[in-house]
Structure 1
Amino acid sequence: MALQPQRTVAELKELRALTGNEAGAQRVAWTDTWLEARAWLRTKLDDLPVETHMDAAGNVWSTLEGASERALLIGGHLDSVPNGGWLDGCLNVLAGLEVLRHLCDTYGGRPPVTVRLVDWADEEGARFGRSLLGSSACCGTLNPDDERGRTDKDGVALPDALRRCGVELDRMHEAGTELQNAAAYLELHIEQGPVLLDLDKPLGAVLGTFGVERHAVTFHGQAAHSGSTPMERRKDAFLAAAKMSPESYAIAARRGGVCTIGSCTTKPGIVTSVVEECRITLDQRHLDADALAMMLADAKGASERFAAEGRVTVNWDRLWRIDPILFDGALIDLCDEAIREVCGTSHRLPSGPLHDAAEVARAGVPTVMMFVQSLHGISHNKIEDTQEEHLELAVAALAKLADKVVARLGAQG
């Protein structure tokens, strides 16, 4: 059973046909289509001498027992966003499956260390708005009380949807035992952006994931008649908020990060009234914690300046934050080396999106990610795509990286 990267491409297409439609992938976590995808994966695992089970958080683990209990983990997620692409998440799992086959064959079914493939539950958070659900439970950062009240668009409660799939919210933390012998974690993913595309490089080694500061910024002015109120007398909350858009971009450019104003709502929200209240959401990201803190301070200072100019007030409410997560330096070097051996060139880059790998790294497990080029630089969209040649290179490079890590861990005893 020699490594067959083309088999991974064929299986990706098979999964697309099974769980997608003309609008894209439909493997939303905790739905029947997602369960169907997982059942399909189990049929592929039946040909290997692995033990497969679902943990208390809904993550599915397939374990190839080795001479040592120390474990190399290879992970990904089968779930998708609605109308998503054919590669996001599932490439990680199916490439990992092929590497599992390769290691099983290479070592006659018993490698020097244990190798485990994990399909994380609900990485996307598409149905209930809570990303990295299964991995955060396993890695100890999930607080059930923070999630208990979540409902989907149809009013279904998160605990009820979990229970239907055999998961109890208040027991999800028990999945943490799965990391007891974890010695390294590898994850392959499409880049979801244009960096590798613009550099004309198939693969890259990922340095870590951006830290995120996400806030609601609300400007408070005064409602007034849009016809009778002179321009110089207005206290227009929207005018102050609108100035934040170009300023936020300038801050991101100056500090070397990225930012997005993703929503804007106004009150009273009618054409005949000056805006009394304007709420925007600001997402700021950077790989360096100090630079991210300066981006936030710059934005807060700008908002207060614009508020004063417009004779309005402003307040900030934090929606969410996470520190930058840097991956393991030795594994980054091995990843870069494996990529160069397979395709002759590599590039080191950060990840703007979060991934399950970030949670695993936060739990103290040495971690690295590998990116493969995304055509169009687009993901979470049915046009998401990667050249098949690059997909095959990615599988080969992931296998090469796994070989290196197994050898290193085996030598450590």
Structure 2
Amino acid sequence: MPLDPERTVQELKALRELTGDEHGAQRVAFTDTWVRARDFLKEKLAELPVEVHTDAAGNLWATLRGDSEQELLIGGHIDSVPNGGWLDGCLNTLAGLEVLRRLSEQGRPPVTVRLVDWADEEGARFGRSLYGSSAAGGNIDLAEMRKLRDRDGVGLEDALARVGITLADAPQARDELKNAGAYLELHIEQGPVLEGLGLPLGAVLGTFGVERHTITFHGQAAHSGSTPMNVRRDAFRAAGQLAQEIYAIAERHGGVCTIGSCKTLPGIVTSVVETCEVTLDQRHLNAEHLAAMWWEAQEAARRFAEDGGCSVTFGDLWNIEPIPFHPELIEAADAAILDIVPQSHLLPSGPLHDAAEVARAGIPTVMLFVQSLRGISHNSIEDTEEEHLLLSVQALDRLTSRTIQWLVSRR
């Protein structure tokens, strides 16, 4: 059975028909539609000489035994955001399925190869992304997870129980990684870089680190009509100046910065703004640059506050360190792309992926990106040229072969 990338495209379309509607994909984790998607994948796996089981956290594993207990993992996620795209996550799993088909037909591989469908990568329902891979990587706080509720008030613990998963047992999923020697993941880019370069495929350097904070400017409320401009202590003015400065900070360091929300008090048109809180998201692949970006943002905020007769305070929302992928596997990914097309490109990932959690667990990891049309994802218009989808399956297969050789050479 030779590799058949066209079959992957047809299976992606069949999954879209099964689990989507006129608004897009509806494979939200732990819903009935997600269960149908899982069953679709299980039906395909049942045709192969693989062992299939669901671990304690709800991740689905298909294991093709090899001559060695050392394992090569190929991962993805079949869940989606509500009204999502037809490729996000499920391309990974169905392309990995096709690679398993090719390997199983050729006999026993030198190492054990496992396909994993991670549970709830998106976090769309409960606001906590990478649940399944975090559990396997040992990065899960059960007390915090028990607090999570969806918009209907259903708790994560109850949603898991409905599909046969016990949250308290989730940390046991760590056992799944004990023999892992490498991890591969194919994903649509979800951004515009490859399309802008006119390239179908890229090798991923790692995932951005993130600093996410609140910045609150404190001024003085005063009447909008009777307060001269030169004596105002306008908290919004200081925030507006910072909004411009973060672009300069990002440009200096080669990262990205976003002010995502802005709240003002008293929040009426007849008053100068007394309090203005903004949320700042900063991302970079280099930890030193990321730290410098946050330091420079604070210095700029203090400067603009002082210039406007205001003060400023800072709050922490969330942060994660940059997660670089394995340099030798990045080389292998780049070479695998060049086996298929004339030109490759190395790029970082702005979004987090399950690959980040696997890499954090100390397992050599790399990702492949395939071009996204218009750079759009998490949207029903998400799309990739079929020709590029075919190339991506071939590239994942070539990367699998190269990584198996790499693992054998390291024994």
TM-score normalised by the chain length of structure 1: 0.97
Partners of 2:409 and 2:331 lie apart in 1 by 18
What residue in structure 2 maps to residue 39 of structure 1? Answer: 39
Asked if 1:208 is matched to 2:206, the reply is yes
Partners of 2:18 and 2:110 lie apart in 1 by 36
Label 1:128 to 1:412 Cα distance change in 2 as closer, same or farther (>3 A): same
| Residue correspondences, number | 411
- TM-superposed CA distance for 1:159, in Å, is 1.7
What residue in structure 2 maps to residue 393 of structure 1? Answer: 391
Partners of 2:80 and 2:359 lie apart in 1 by 22
Partners of 1:113 and 1:79 lie apart in 2 by 28
What residue in structure 2 maps to residue 217 of structure 1? Answer: 215
One-letter amino acid matched to 1:153: R
What residue in structure 2 maps to residue 105 of structure 1? Answer: 105
What residue in structure 2 maps to residue 56 of structure 1? Answer: 56
- TM-superposed CA distance for 1:145, in Å, is 1.9
Partners of 2:234 and 2:208 lie apart in 1 by 34
One-letter amino acid matched to 1:62: A
Identity within the alignment, %: 66
- TM-superposed CA distance for 1:412, in Å, is 4.0
What residue in structure 1 maps to residue 71 of structure 2? Answer: 71
One-letter amino acid matched to 1:277: T
What residue in structure 1 maps to residue 158 of structure 2? Answer: 160
- TM-superposed CA distance for 1:270, in Å, is 2.1
What residue in structure 2 maps to residue 345 of structure 1? Answer: 343
What residue in structure 1 maps to residue 2 of structure 2? Answer: 2
- TM-superposed CA distance for 1:273, in Å, is 2.3
Partners of 1:333 and 1:21 lie apart in 2 by 40
Partners of 1:162 and 1:312 lie apart in 2 by 48
What residue in structure 2 maps to residue 24 of structure 1? Answer: 24
What residue in structure 2 maps to residue 284 of structure 1? Answer: 282
One-letter amino acid matched to 1:140: G
Partners of 1:150 and 1:38 lie apart in 2 by 23
Residues 340-397 of structure 1 deviation map (CA, whole Å, 9 limit, x = unaligned): 0111211111111111001101101010100111111111111111100000000001
One-letter amino acid matched to 2:23: A
In structure 1, the residue corresponding to 2:222 is in which secondary structure?
Answer: coil
Partners of 1:187 and 1:411 lie apart in 2 by 21
1:14-413 matches, within 5 Å, as: 14-106=14-106, 108=107, 110-413=108-411
Unpaired stretches in structure 2, ≥5 consecutive residues: none
One-letter amino acid matched to 1:42: K
One-letter amino acid matched to 2:395: A
Partners of 1:146 and 1:195 lie apart in 2 by 36
In structure 1, the residue corresponding to 2:36 is in which secondary structure?
Answer: helix
In structure 1, the residue corresponding to 2:28 is in which secondary structure?
Answer: coil
In structure 2, the residue corresponding to 1:98 is in which secondary structure?
Answer: helix
In structure 1, the residue corresponding to 2:165 is in which secondary structure?
Answer: coil
Partners of 1:223 and 1:54 lie apart in 2 by 58
- TM-superposed CA distance for 1:315, in Å, is 1.3
